Amino acid sequence: MPVKMVTPGATIGILGGGQLGRMIALAAAQLGYRCHVFANESDSPAEQVCGAATIAEFYDREALERFAATVDVATFEFENIPAEAVHWVSALRPVLPQPEILEIAQDRLREKDFLQSIDVDTTAYRKISDQASLVRAMRDFGYPAVLKTARMGYDGKGQITITPRTKAEEAWRGMGGEIGILESFVDFACEISVIVARNGNGAWAAYPAVENKHVAHILDTTIAPARIGAETAMRAEAIARHVAEQLDLVGLLAVEMFVTEGGKLLVNEIAPRPHNSGHWTIDACVTSQFEQLVRAVCGLPLGSVEHHSDAMMKNLLGSDVARWRDALDDPLAKLHLYGKTEIQPGRKMGHVTHLIRHR
Ligand code: AMP
């Protein structure tokens, strides 16, 4: 998809005020761009580092149109932004990655149907539209299985593990009676992700596959690169590239995968935005995932994804942030705090990247 070049000095609009928006804005500033964030809360992590901010609800069409009028190109940092909001902005200014890609990623069912349609392996899954379909799927899939809401789920929100003791009625109610999917449980050897960037000329670059450890469904640690064989890593990269090309992506896409004991790769989720498992790239790669996104959406050449260090990224979740000072005892640790004042259990407050230098 041809993209008009947006030159330094121009303004990038960021929909969403979280830490991903903050780190996009920091990378954009380094390249001489201004950023205008649209967030539904004041003093958000992104607002703290952006020159301009609009604070309004995502269904406030007028506010979105006023915001759009001030930016040259827009991107989003949060998957659950209402699709209408993104469409209202895209009627006035380019939004990249393309809103259609966001819509696929927002709905687990559409996402999995899309992946299957382009011959990418996923976990076995079934649409659940009522209690009766859940009962049937539970019988067919066996135990354990994972029930997920189709929409608005992230970091394990809207997810229930189905065991032989689970009552279908309770599980269906627990999900709020919303359309969902039942997935078979994957007893994976490890979880990995690949972040791929693609620009308007179809040039692409993928960061090495990294290994992700989740605690209570939330990313806790990323080990970069993943401790997997070269052949598996190449297959993972090829899958990410294939998905990006089939979407005609302009921007960044994270592809999360399960590696089975037998070495199979099953895509669990895609996210058309910077990803927590790519934070290590800020300190260990020639070009960070955030700079790469800015380059792609502004129609610039992509930067090198080469890494000069291996890394271990640890999230500071909830009250972990109180231990931020300990991180600085390691001179090769890079501390990133997101400026959030309210601590909640599991909330992403910051991260630390421990660099392991190549000799
Ligand atoms: P998700 O919200 O789909 O990214 O899921 C969050 C985390 O829950 C994943 O990264 C896995 O650790 C775990 N998980 C999700 N789905 C499955 C599954 N079908 N089998 C095993 N673990 C899963």
- pLDDT tens for 247-270 read 999 999 999 999 999 999 999 999
Q: What is the pLDDT of residue 152?
A: 75
Does the CB atom of residue 123 touch ligand 1 within 6 A? yes
Which residues fall within 8 angstroms of residue 167, CB to CB, at 6 or more apart? none
Kindly tell me if the per-residue pLDDT of 177 is higher than 90: no
* pLDDT tens per residue across span 16-53: 999 999 999 999 999 999 999 999 999 999 999 999 99
Q: What is the pLDDT of residue 71?
A: 98
Kindly tell me if the per-residue pLDDT of 154 is higher than 80: no
Measured in angstroms, how far is the CA atom of residue 256 from the centroid of ligand 1?
Answer: 10
CA angle, 14 then 80 then 313, to 5°: 75
**pTM tops 0.75, yes or no:** yes
- Could you tell me the two tokens for 213? 């450890």
- Could you tell me the two tokens for 347? 């909330």
Which residues fall within 8 angstroms of residue 121, CB to CB, at 6 or more apart? 115, 264, 265, 266, 267
Residues 74, 13: contact at Cβ < 8 Å?
Answer: yes
Kindly tell me if the per-residue pLDDT of 271 is higher than 90: yes
Measured in angstroms, how far is the CA atom of residue 148 from the centroid of ligand 1?
Answer: 9
94 cis-preceded (ω within 30 degrees of 0)? no
Q: Work out the mean pLDDT of the chain and round it to a whole number.
A: 95
Q: What is the pLDDT of residue 179?
A: 87
For ligand 1, atom 17: residue with the closest CA: 185
Core vs surface per residue 215-246: b (16+ CB within 10 A) or e: eeebbeebbbbbebeeebbebbbebbbbbbee
